Amino acid sequence: MGFGDKAENKAEDLGGKAKEATGKATGNESLETEGKADQTSASVKDAGEHVKDAAKDLKDGLTK
């Protein structure tokens, strides 16, 4: 996984946590839900990147 992808996913996760916390603090359920969705999206992207990394590692291992 590239450093840029990791940074983007982490930023999205942290932004989601901030939205969720702000939504909870202000009683804004919509913002809270949006924050949770952002965190889930970042987690899914991270998982996809891990799959790509594993596939690359496997390919590299087979071609050596």
Expressed as residue numbers, the domain containing 32 is 3-62
Q: What is the mean pLDDT of the segment spanning 46-60? A: 88
Instruction: Output the pTM of the full model.
Output: 0.80
Length of the chain: 64
**pLDDT for the residue 3:** 79
**pLDDT for the residue 62:** 85
How many domains is the chain built from?
1
d(CA 42, CA 27): 24
d(CA 46, CA 28): 28
